Structure 1
C-alpha cells in the first residue's frame, strides 16, 4: 500500500509549530552555533573568530542571519535543506536535531532563501522558497493533488553559483517580511535574542565570572558565541545577556531598587544522585517582582539556549509568583531531558518527572523560604538593622582587600560604618537575647573595622599603576578615580577603571 504524506503537514510544521514569530531567530541561531561548533572541532576557526551577524533592514523589509561556521557542501546542500524532519544531528550533541527549525521563517515572509558553501569548494548553493506560492497551495481546495513532497518541489528553486574557495558560511535571508509580526522591530528582536541566545554575560555583571568558575568546576562549560545585530553590516552591535547588578523591583511601595548581593548555586539530581541540571540565582533583598521582564525568572537552558519562557519553572515554587522575584539560570546536563519540537518544554519521561521533583525540592523551596524570611526582616526593624550591618561590614572588608578607589570612597566607608552602628544602638533591650548578642558582636566588629579603615593607606591606584608613570600622570589617574567615585557606584567605577588599565596594557602608554 502506497502511503502519501499530505501537504498540510507542512502547515503544521510552520505556522502550527512556531506560533511566536520571533522563534525563527532562535531556530536560525541554534543552527548557526551547531555549524560553528563543527568548524571549531575541525580547527577551521576558534570560538573567538566565530561570528553570527543578524541584519534587520526594516526599510527594505529584509532579515538575514549569517554565520561563518562549517557550511554545507554542494553535493549535500539540496537534500539537506529540502528534506523535512530528517536530520543526522543528535540531541545529545546539537541544539537543533529534528530537521524542521529552518522552516520557522516560511510563515512570515514572501521569500526565504538559504545560501551556503564550504571551504575548498568554488561554488555556493542557494535554495529558495517561494512562500507566497506555498501559502496559495496550502489553501483548502487549492492544489489538492499535491503531497508534501510535490509542494516542496513546486515552491523551491536551487541555484549554484561561483564562490571563493576560502569561503565558508551559511546565510538565511527572509525577504518582504510581514511587518505585522514585529520581526522588523530591532529593539524587540534585541530583547528577545538577549534572553534566548547563547550569549556571554556583560563585563559589568562581574558575578558572571563566579558563575562560569563554579559551573566549570562541575564540568559544565557555558557555550558563548559572538552575536551581532544591526540595520546593516556597517552598524552592528554585539549582544549580551541582560543581567545586571541593580534591579528595578515592583513592591508595595512602588518601584524600588534591589542590589545583587551574591550568587547561590543549586543542583538538581535524580533518585540515584545523578546530576540532571546545575543552576544559580542572584541573592538580593527580594523586595518584590522584578520589573524588567528580560531578567525575571530562573531560565532553563540547554546548550545555553533558552527552553520555554521566564515562567517555565514557576509551577515548582511554593508560590508560582516567587519565580518572578528572582533572576537566574538552570543548565541542563542530562541527555535524558529532551526538548520538545517547539522547545517550550521537555518530552515527558521518567527523567523529567524526577527533574520536576528536584526543582521543587531545591530552588523552588529555597527561594520561596528566602523571600518569606526577607519579608519578615523588612517588617522587623531589629532584624533589618542586623542584616544591613552584615552587608555594610562585608562591603567594607571587600574594599579594604581590593583597595580604596579614592579618599572620597574611604570617607564614605567610614560614614557607612558609623551610620549602621547608630542603627544597631537603637535596637531596644526588649528584643530576644540572641538578637542582643548579635548586636553587641556587630558593634564590636564595626569599631575594630572602622579603626582599620581609618589607618589604611591601601589605595588601588598605588597597587595597579606601574612605576613607569610620572608623578603628574599618577595624580591625573587618581583624580579620575576621585571624580568617578563621586558620581558612580563602586561596581561601575571598578568596571571603568579595569577597562582603562586594559586599554593602557593593550595599546601602550603614550
Structure 2
C-alpha cells in the first residue's frame, strides 16, 4: 500500500475557479502581478519610473479580454515552472503585492482558453502557454475518475514559442470566449478598478495636492501605475461634491467636499503602522451609491482590501456603522506584518492585526463624534433658519394681508415657538464651538462653512431676536380681502371669502398648493 500524500484534482477548483465572489477580481489579480514586475523592471533599468504601461482591452463583441504590461516578462526557461505551477510563487510575503501564486489562474473560470504570452528582454523568443479552461472544467466535473492535480495540469496546458524582437519585454494575458457579461461591461470594470487598482487620484479632485503634500512631508510611498482600459487611463474617482438622486433618475449635488484631514499611527519605535485621509463635508447623511468612492477604503500597497463596507467594522457600535458612508477616503496599511489573506478581503490574523484594529477603532471614535457634532450643528442651524423664515413670512403677510385670522394666529404661534428654540439653538452652537476649539476636532477646519458665527469666541454669539408673547400691534391687522382687488365686494361678501380661505387652509396643509388655489380664485373673482 502506498502511503505517500496525494493531492486530488479538486484542489485546482478551490484555488482557481472557486476562490472569489466578484468575477472582476481577475483584473485586480493580473494588475497586481503586472505591478510587481513593473517594480522589478524599474529596479533593473528596463524602464524609468513613470514609463510603465498596463493596458486592458475589452472586446465585448468578440468576447475577448487582453491585459498587457511592458514590465520584465518571463525568461523562456522559467515559463513552465512559473506559469504552470500553482501556489508555488517565488515572491516575497509582506513585500510583493502578490505572493501566493494562484491569482493568475483566476481567469480560468470565465473563459474557454486562458493564454499567457511573454518575452524577456535580451531574448528573441515569445513564449506562449495556453490553458484549456473548458477541458479543465470537464475533468474536474467528471466524478467517475480520480486524478492527481499535477497530472491534470499537464493535460490542460501546452506551450509554444515564436520569434520576437530581442529588445521586447512584456507579459500578456488573453482570455478567449469570455463567459461573464460583467467582465465585458466596460463601465462596470472602470468603476471597479478606479477604486481597487493602484492608480493615482484624479487631479480634478481639489484636495489631491494636499494629500500629495502629506505623503511627501511624512516620507510615505504610494505606488501608482499607468493603467488604461480601452485606451483611457483610469484614476481614483474622488469628487468635489456629494451627489444624491433627482426626480428624473439622474443625480444632483447635495453637499460640497469642504476639505480633507489625515490619520497617522506609529508604533513605539516610530515606525508607521498606517496612515490615511478622509473627506470633510457638512456630514448631512450617508452618501448614496451613485457616489462610487463612498466609504473609507482599506488599502495595502495602494490596492484595495475588501470593498466599500470594509471599514464599518471599526465603528464599535452597530448603530454607528452608518457613519462609514458619511465620508470617503483611504486607510493605507504600511506595516509588513499586515498581510492580505488569500481572498484579499481582509488581513490574516496575527498580533499586528489586533494592534491595527485597536488603533483604527480609536481613530473612528473621533469620526463618529464628528458626525454627532455635525448633526447637532445642522439641527441648530435649521432651527435658526426656520425662525428667520417665519419672521420674513410674517413680514410679507403684514404687507399683502393674511388669508384668515387663523393663518395669522398659526404663524404667530409658530414664530413664538421657534424664537424660543432659536435661543437654545444659539446656545448649543456656542457650546459646540467651544468644545470643538478645545478638542481640536477636524470640524474646526471647516466650521465657518457650517455657520459663520460659530468661529467667534464662546459666548459671543447672540440670537437675532428674543421671543415675545405677542408683537405690539401698530394698527389693524391686514387681511387679504382688504386688498384693492376686493373693493367691489361688500363687507359681508369679504367675510364669506375669508371663511372660504380659512376652509382651504384647513383642507390643504401644503402652503404652495394652497396659495396656488387662492390665486386662481382671486383671478376668477376679479374678472
For 2:299, the equivalent position in structure 1 comes to 301
CA distance in 1, matches of 2:240, 2:21: 34
How far apart are 1:293 and its partner, in Å? 4.7
CA RMSD of aligned residues (A): 2.6
For 1:239, the equivalent position in structure 2 comes to 234
For 2:59, the equivalent position in structure 1 comes to 57
Uncovered stretches (5+) of structure 2, i.e. residues with no partner? 386-421, 434-451, 458-527
TM-score (norm 1): 0.73
Cα shift readout 1:43-79 (whole Å, capped 9, x = no counterpart): 1112321100001101110001000001101111111
Change (3 A) 1:112 1:430: closer
Change (3 A) 1:368 1:47: same
Task: Confirm or deny that 1:107 pairs with 2:105.
Answer: no
CA distance in 2, matches of 1:433, 1:11: 61
Task: Confirm or deny that 1:83 pairs with 2:81.
Answer: no
CA distance in 1, matches of 2:87, 2:265: 32
Give the one of 272, 276, 295 matched to 1:275. 272
For 1:378, the equivalent position in structure 2 comes to 378
Task: Confirm or deny that 1:337 pairs with 2:338.
Answer: yes
Task: Confirm or deny that 1:185 pairs with 2:185.
Answer: yes
CA distance in 2, matches of 1:172, 1:51: 14
CA distance in 2, matches of 1:277, 1:428: 44
How far apart are 1:381 and its partner, in Å? 2.3
How far apart are 1:288 and its partner, in Å? 1.1
Change (3 A) 1:250 1:353: farther
Count matched residues: 393
For 2:326, the equivalent position in structure 1 comes to 325
CA distance in 2, matches of 1:307, 1:188: 18
For 1:310, the equivalent position in structure 2 comes to 308
Task: Confirm or deny that 1:248 pairs with 2:243.
Answer: yes
CA distance in 1, matches of 2:142, 2:4: 23
Moved over 6 A (4+): 382-385
How far apart are 1:440 and its partner, in Å? 10
CA distance in 1, matches of 2:44, 2:353: 34
Change (3 A) 1:442 1:293: closer
Task: Confirm or deny that 1:219 pairs with 2:189.
Answer: no
Indicate conservation of the 8 Å contact 1:270/1:351, yes or no: no
Give the one of 31, 35, 41 matched to 2:37. 35
CA distance in 1, matches of 2:453, 2:138: 76
How far apart are 1:336 and its partner, in Å? 0.7
For 1:228, the equivalent position in structure 2 comes to 228
CA distance in 1, matches of 2:59, 2:118: 21
How far apart are 1:26 and its partner, in Å? 0.3
How far apart are 1:368 and its partner, in Å? 0.8
Secondary structure at the counterpart of residue 63 of structure 1: strand
For 2:361, the equivalent position in structure 1 comes to 360
Change (3 A) 1:74 1:377: same
Give the 5 Å matches for 1:161-172. Answer: 161-172=162-173
CA distance in 2, matches of 1:115, 1:287: 51
CA distance in 2, matches of 1:213, 1:250: 34
Cα shift readout 1:146-180 (whole Å, capped 9, x = no counterpart): 21100000000000111000100000000000034
Uncovered stretches (5+) of structure 1, i.e. residues with no partner? 231-235, 386-426, 444-510
Task: Confirm or deny that 1:196 pairs with 2:191.
Answer: no
Give the 5 Å matches for 1:119-134. Answer: 119-134=121-136
CA distance in 2, matches of 1:260, 1:304: 23
Give the 5 Å matches for 1:343-492. Answer: 343-362=344-363, 364-381=364-381, 431-432=426-427, 435=430, 439=453
Change (3 A) 1:439 1:63: closer
Change (3 A) 1:380 1:155: same
Indicate conservation of the 8 Å contact 1:118/1:167, yes or no: yes
CA distance in 2, matches of 1:104, 1:306: 18
Moved more, 373-382 or 337-346: 373-382
Cα shift readout 1:201-225 (whole Å, capped 9, x = no counterpart): 1111131121122123223211111
Cα shift readout 1:245-270 (whole Å, capped 9, x = no counterpart): 1111579xx97522111111112345
Indicate conservation of the 8 Å contact 1:58/1:184, yes or no: yes
For 1:3, the equivalent position in structure 2 comes to 5
